Amino acid sequence: METTTPFEFKQYVSVLKAAGQRAGNLRELREVIAVVSDDSLFHHTYQYFLKDHVLEYTNDFAYWAGESLEERVLAEQLSNIDPYIFNHIDELRRALLSVIDTYLEGFPEPRQALSGEEFYFNETVSFIFPAGIRVKNLAEFLIAMRYIDPSAIYYHFYEARVRLGVDDLSAWVETSLGRKQLAERIRSIDPFMHSVEGIREHIVEAVEDKVRRDMEVL
Amino acid sequence: MLLDHYSGIAPTGDLLLLRRLGELLQGKTFLHVNSTRSGGGVAETLQRMLPLIRDLGINARWEVIEGDMFFFDTTKKMHNALQGNREYISEEMWGHHFGVNRINAGKINLEADAVLIHDPQPVPLVEFRRGGCWFWRCHIDVSNPVREVSDRIMRYSKKYDAAIFSVSKFAQALGIDELIIPPSIDPLSDKNRKLTDTEISEALERLGVPADRPMILQVSRFDRFKDPIGVIQAYRMVKKYNNCILVLAGSPATDDPEGAAVLGEVTAYAADDPDIHILLLPPFSDKYINALQRAATVILQKSLKEGFGLTVSEAMWKGKPVIGGATGGIPLQIVHGVTGFLVHSVEGAAFRTRQFLNNPDMTKRMGEKGREYIRKNFLITRQVRDYLSIWYRGENGGKGVVEL
């Protein structure tokens, strides 16, 4: 018997909620980022990883700078901000403002976004519900990780990091299964560098590796 | 259960949450009110949605308000003004709008645990609310409204618990929760269900559309904002390189006096090109539209202005990559370069069409990604899920994170 505390997977869906503010140019974007709710900043940065198709940007501000303002340098600089290195959302807010301020000092005034292409600030209302999957050992965990809905991976790997400082998955592997090394390997997967499906692949690879080694008798 | 029919089609997570919400809202009442029983996207969606909600054990009702010609002339003007057309609405009209709703409030049983009022026609009903969570669902593009008209409508909408818009940029600063819930398509309806090869070829034969060459298709009303002339121009650019046909298919809209004039312009512009097929389909031609979309090689929605443009989702659901104008809700459906292409000009539409016609592997790959994108985001199960979720949230303190 490997564990006494099973892991209950939960799933996540969200409904967008308008934050009631918008920006038509970079200065307006800066003004709103300075005051908009933490929830809105969270949505436009951390939750970007929920998107099905992450292209060359890593947050909505970078996407807007690149696609609507066509400011490539700014888009790259904003994309390079890793939200997971901050302990509080206000630090992320300061980092975003710092990049925009420096850009505004050093480059010609960016143009106004075309009508209809303004930046609309949103938040999300999150709904969390049981995925109906409970695992008790590493082999079951491996199967679940292969097939679980991507939103469950987002919830346990990304959002838990913000709620608890550490992802739920490695925490369970360590505390309930006593697999410290595996937990560390899962924790070393950089959330900023992968889509949800990329995270799935890396976790499956790490767990599969461990299960295979456990099975080998010679 | 009706919901079981969506197993293997809709995302499992959505079905799981729907069943959970069904348990939590079991036996409660959910009232929808709009102004027409048939015709238009709202009625079409409600017809498909209500049985699904009832199937979850929720007592769903759908009421339609009644009004005279003056009322509907007035609300049509309101609709146009909310979309940005200059219209004059007199005090008498505003008074009649309220008066008709007061009469309807006396006839309709407005008692329900959740009430969803659709569009501006019945918006004043909130003045007669009797408990429950009240939501105003605005299906119109109100991103650039005539301010005097939207201010009057919004005076009513502020009295709701929350407003629901289809796209973020339609939201207003109302001071109440403004939620964004995009519309959806029903994969099991006649317009979207799977068709056999025989059904498709029979439909093409009935419509007189040959199946011997690649087909470029646009399905839309004959409306200048859908840019049918631009589609013909793009087709002519493509035709120099690829032997193909163009099909422009639309239904006559009785509430659109310009439709006949635009159809005339389009027919004249097409001149005597035998490879351009302009089809004026009667209402309830869903199966024919389905067949055309399934038979097409490339589907365009080259709109210059668009509310949401659900025809894009309908086409993508059939595994066809869509070339769409970057307007309204189209960019929400087309992930540029992944599930289709967004274009800004006739030349862009022509170039992307040629790309698809000359790269069948890419066309197939993007079509498959598009279908999956629609499956995850734009099926009716997702929309019902969203409605029930926000109702449950409304009953439980309206928090940002809700555990179910």
pLDDT of residue A3: 47
Interchain contact, A149 vs B404, CB within 8 Å: no
pLDDT of residue A111: 86
pLDDT category, B339, cuts 50, 70, 90? very high
Alpha carbon of A27: minimum distance to chain B alpha carbons (Å) = 19
Interchain contact, A18 vs B165, CB within 8 Å: yes
Which 8-state DSSP code applies to residue A48?
G
Q: Taking residues B128-139, report their average pLDDT.
A: 95
The enclosing H or E element of A18 equals strand A7-23
Give Cβ neighbours of residue B106 (< 8 Å, ≥ 6 apart). none
Phi-psi region of B328 (alpha: psi -120 to 50; beta: other; left: phi over 0): left
Size of interface A-B (CB pairs under 8 A): 85
Give Cβ neighbours of residue A209 (< 8 Å, ≥ 6 apart). none
Q: Taking residues B206-225, report their average pLDDT.
A: 94
Interchain contact, A127 vs B12, CB within 8 Å: no
Which positions 86-125 of A are in contact with B (Cβ < 8 Å)? 115-116, 118, 120, 122-125
Phi-psi region of A165 (alpha: psi -120 to 50; beta: other; left: phi over 0): left
Residues A146, A164: Cα–Cα separation, whole Å: 24
Give the one of A116, A125, A131 whose C-beta lies nearest to B402's C-beta: A125
Give the one of B20, B327, B390 whose C-beta lies nearest to A116's C-beta: B327
Residues B240, B238: Cα–Cα separation, whole Å: 5
Interchain contact, B11 vs A128, CB within 8 Å: no
By C-alpha distance, the chain B residue nearest A125 is B400
Q: For B95-191, where are the E strands, in sequence order?
A: 114-118, 133-137, 162-165, 177-180
A85: three-class secondary structure by DSSP? helix
Give Cβ neighbours of residue B86 (< 8 Å, ≥ 6 apart). B146
Residues B137, B152: Cα–Cα separation, whole Å: 16
Contacts of residue A147 in chain B, CB cutoff 8 Å? none
Contacts of residue B20 in chain A, CB cutoff 8 Å? 129-130
Residues B192, B291: Cα–Cα separation, whole Å: 9
> What are the structure tokens assigned to B219, written together?
């399905």
Q: Is A147 on the interface with B (CB under 8 A)?
A: no
Contacts of residue B168 in chain A, CB cutoff 8 Å? 16, 18, 120, 122
Q: Encode chain A (218 residues) as per-residue pLDDT tens digits.
A: 444 799 999 999 999 999 999 999 999 999 999 999 999 999 999 888 777 666 678 999 999 999 899 999 999 999 999 998 998 999 999 999 999 999 999 888 888 998 888 999 999 999 999 999 999 999 999 999 999 999 999 999 998 888 788 899 999 999 999 999 999 999 999 988 888 899 999 999 999 999 999 888 76
For chain B, the average pLDDT equals 94
Q: Are A121 and A32 within 8 A, CB to CB?
A: yes
pLDDT in tens, B283-327: 779 999 999 999 999 999 999 888 888 999 999 999 999 999 988
Distances (CA, A) of A121 to B176, B227, B261: 15, 31, 40
Long-range contacts of A24-29 (CB under 8 A, 24+ apart): A24/A112, A24/A113, A24/A118, A24/A119, A25/A69, A25/A110, A25/A111, A25/A112, A25/A113, A26/A65, A26/A69, A26/A71, A26/A74, A26/A100, A26/A103, A26/A104, A26/A109, A26/A110, A27/A104, A29/A61, A29/A64, A29/A100, A29/A119
Distances (CA, A) of B212 to A183, B205, B295, B321: 59, 12, 11, 20
Q: Is B275 on the interface with A (CB under 8 A)?
A: no
Interchain contact, B180 vs A129, CB within 8 Å: no
pLDDT in tens, B237-285: 999 999 999 999 997 765 566 788 899 999 999 998 999 999 999 877 9
Give the one of A13, A39, A52 whose C-beta lies nearest to B400's C-beta: A39
- Chain centroid to CA B336: how far? 20
Residues B249, B247: Cα–Cα separation, whole Å: 6
Q: Is the pTM of this model over 0.90?
A: yes
pLDDT of residue A52: 66
Interface-testing mutation among A17, A124, A159, with chain B (most B C-beta atoms within 10 A) = A17
Interchain contact, B181 vs A52, CB within 8 Å: no
Interchain contact, A11 vs B178, CB within 8 Å: no
Q: Which residues pair with B33 in a beta bridge?
A: B63, B117
Q: Is B177 on the interface with A (CB under 8 A)?
A: yes
Contacts of residue B13 in chain A, CB cutoff 8 Å? 11, 13, 131, 149, 151
Q: Is B87 on the interface with A (CB under 8 A)?
A: no
Q: Taking residues B163-188, report their average pLDDT.
A: 93
Q: Is A192 on the interface with B (CB under 8 A)?
A: no
Q: Is B365 on the interface with A (CB under 8 A)?
A: no
Q: Is A17 on the interface with B (CB under 8 A)?
A: yes
Contacts of residue A125 in chain B, CB cutoff 8 Å? 179, 389-390, 393, 400-402
pLDDT in tens, B58-76: 999 999 999 999 999 999 8
pLDDT of residue A55: 63
Q: Are B262 and B223 within 8 A, CB to CB?
A: yes
Q: Taking residues B133-153, report their average pLDDT.
A: 93
Residues A42, A25: Cα–Cα separation, whole Å: 21
Q: Is B344 on the interface with A (CB under 8 A)?
A: no
User: Do β-strands B298-301 and B215-219 pair in parallel, antiparallel, or remain unpaired?
Assistant: parallel
User: Do β-strands B59-64 and B133-137 pair in parallel, antiparallel, or remain unpaired?
Assistant: unpaired
Residues B314, B288: Cα–Cα separation, whole Å: 13
Of B134, B137, B132, B145, the closest CA to residue B164 belongs to: B137
| φ, ψ at B276 (rounded to 5°) | -105, 120
pLDDT of residue A127: 95
pLDDT in tens, B119-132: 999 999 999 998 99
Q: Interface pTM (ipTM) of the complex?
A: 0.90
Q: Is A146 on the interface with B (CB under 8 A)?
A: no
Interchain contact, B13 vs A149, CB within 8 Å: yes
Residue type, B237: M
